Structure 1
Amino acid sequence: MQMPVNEFKKALASDTTQWGCWAGFATGYAAEIIAGTGFDWLLIDGEHAPNTVPTILAQLQAVMPYQSAPVVRCVNQDPALIKQLLDIGAQTLMVPMVESADQAAALVRATRYPPHGVRGVGGGLVRATRWDGVDDYLSKAHESLCLIVQVESPKGVESAEAIANTEGVDAVFIGPADLSVGMGHPGNPGHPEVQQAIETVIKVAKAAGKPVGILAPLEEDARRYEALGCHFIAVGIDISLLRQSAMTTVARYKKQATYNASSTY
């Protein structure tokens, strides 16, 4: 059996913007619904959604037949958790709050087998190898993996150039909400200082040859970030989409304000 192709990593090498959606319901059923709607990629959120390794596995299995490529976000930078996520078949990982090149390099090592890293060998126990069905998995695994590091703090912005130039880092993702809080402008990622920081990260990441992504539920924001050079942009959050649709529907029949999505997440 050949190594499964990482369609998301393959798409990042193209010139086409990849439009994504946050999957926060933590169930395979909901993830499969979103996967069938046409988004290029889905972020299975292990940081803020109530996910565990088994629920992430269920979502990876649910979306596998669809064109939407799954990206799994870790709750933290724990190498043991990263090992588990890779073993259940996650090929693209997004890791939050990376603030230095040293942290980025440690994450690269967590995704590599010795002598290039510290990932433990699961062999026939794990889905990633298709239970020992993938030919020469140990020597080829890194080729199909995509590591996305999140820059979402003032310290991360300061180190963005070094982070982006770290060998083994495949892409950089900007977190506007955490960045705005860290810069003293909570709930206001549109503040000029925050926007300047975002533009700085985009510029240095692109100079390093690394694709840049961002979360932007408002179309005006998404289009602006696309024009600035962001290559993969999450433009929806499944929970917000449900709430917005439900409130819009009930507002037709009751006198209440409709819900407006924001980009403060």
Structure 2
Amino acid sequence: MWVSSGSPIMAEICAGSGLDWLLIDGEHSPLGLESIQLQLQAAAAYPVTPVVRVPVNDTVLIKQYLDLGAQNLLVPMVNSADEAAAAVAASLYPPRGVRGVGSALARGARWNRVENYLQRAHELVSITVQIETAESVANAEAIAATDGVAAMFIGPSDLSASMGLLGQQEHPDVVASVERTIAVAKAAGLPVGVNAFNPVVAERYLDLGVDFILVGADVASVARAGEGFAKRFIDDRGGDQIAGAAEATGGERASY
């Protein structure tokens, strides 16, 4: 499930719902470092794996996200093997990579309470690269072969846009690109995931063997539930009369 609200309470509700993984999204959501850390702390009490998406493939941001306690990072818009290698290097201390050393100050190392964290950090963090452009699909084999890439995740929304099919995630050409990437990841022995809010599409990708999948989001779930309440208890029961009663008691209905 996608966690996009920025609310630690919502993150805790989602974490305790029986799901096996959450995506805390720093790319398309109003999340700062403090907010992400609070959400990770809220989720930590539950048997769920949080994955945190950084907003951009940036060495400094990856260092900060790891230091605040994210262990599994999703890096968006990885279009080449070189970009994948840069993301991996940002997650690893020298000589393996270029991650800056600040573990004594950081929740990621539990303020040096994780024994031998500097020597073991490469075993405790993972980089998943996001395949979400036609270019990245074309380079999927090289990206999958990049040392240190732990998994691949496919984003059909941006992928469809890059193919000139904006908003058509279920277009046959987009689906074919998703299926090609799944096959590439499987051939390379990498776990592969995909975003699919349509349950029918999600089931099809699961049948193709994807290892992890996003099937909903906190904000979308609340939005649809709220609309359902409005339809059942206002629209279907005579909204004009209810609005009139509200106005009679001094209430006003907001409009945009």
2:67 and 2:103 in contact (8 A); partners too: no
SS of alignment partner, residue 233 of structure 2? coil
Calculate the aligned-residue CA RMSD, in Å.
0.9
CA deviation profile, 1:112-140 (whole Å, cap 9, x unmatched)? 00011000110310011111111111110
User: 1:147 corresponds to which letter in structure 2?
Assistant: I
Alpha-carbon separation, structure 1, partners of 2:26 and 2:183: 28
The TM-score with structure 2 as length reference comes to 0.91
**Other-structure match for 1:59:** 39
SS of alignment partner, residue 150 of structure 1? strand
2:81 and 2:146 in contact (8 A); partners too: yes
- Point out where structure 2 has 5 or more consecutive residues left out of the alignment: 237-256
User: 1:216 corresponds to which letter in structure 2?
Assistant: A
**Other-structure match for 1:147:** 127
**Other-structure match for 2:217:** 237
Q: Which runs of 4+ in 1 moved over 4 A?
A: none
2:153 is the alignment partner of 1:135: no
The alpha-carbon deviation at position 141 of structure 1 amounts to: 0.6
Alpha-carbon separation, structure 1, partners of 2:227 and 2:173: 33
Task: Indicate which of 162, 166, 172 corresponds to 1:192.
Answer: 172
Query: Matches of residues 200-215 of structure 1 in structure 2 within 5 Å?
Result: 200-215=180-195
**Other-structure match for 2:48:** 68
SS of alignment partner, residue 215 of structure 2? strand
Alpha-carbon separation, structure 1, partners of 2:148 and 2:86: 10
**Other-structure match for 1:41:** 21
**Other-structure match for 2:241:** none
The TM-score with structure 1 as length reference comes to 0.88
Alpha-carbon separation, structure 1, partners of 2:106 and 2:234: 52
Alpha-carbon separation, structure 1, partners of 2:114 and 2:210: 34
**Other-structure match for 1:179:** 159
CA deviation profile, 1:40-65 (whole Å, cap 9, x unmatched)? 01100000000011110010011100
2:149 is the alignment partner of 1:169: yes
The alpha-carbon deviation at position 229 of structure 1 amounts to: 1.5
User: 2:87 corresponds to which letter in structure 1?
Assistant: L
SS of alignment partner, residue 113 of structure 1? coil
SS of alignment partner, residue 149 of structure 2? coil
Alpha-carbon separation, structure 2, partners of 1:255 and 1:131: 54
Alpha-carbon separation, structure 1, partners of 2:104 and 2:78: 32
Alpha-carbon separation, structure 2, partners of 1:129 and 1:146: 15
Task: Indicate which of 80, 89, 106 corresponds to 1:100.
Answer: 80
- Point out where structure 1 has 5 or more consecutive residues left out of the alignment: 1-20, 257-265
What is the number of equivalent residue pairs in this alignment?
236
Alpha-carbon separation, structure 2, partners of 1:124 and 1:138: 10
Higher helix fraction: Structure 1 or Structure 2? 2
**Other-structure match for 1:9:** none
The alpha-carbon deviation at position 192 of structure 1 amounts to: 0.7
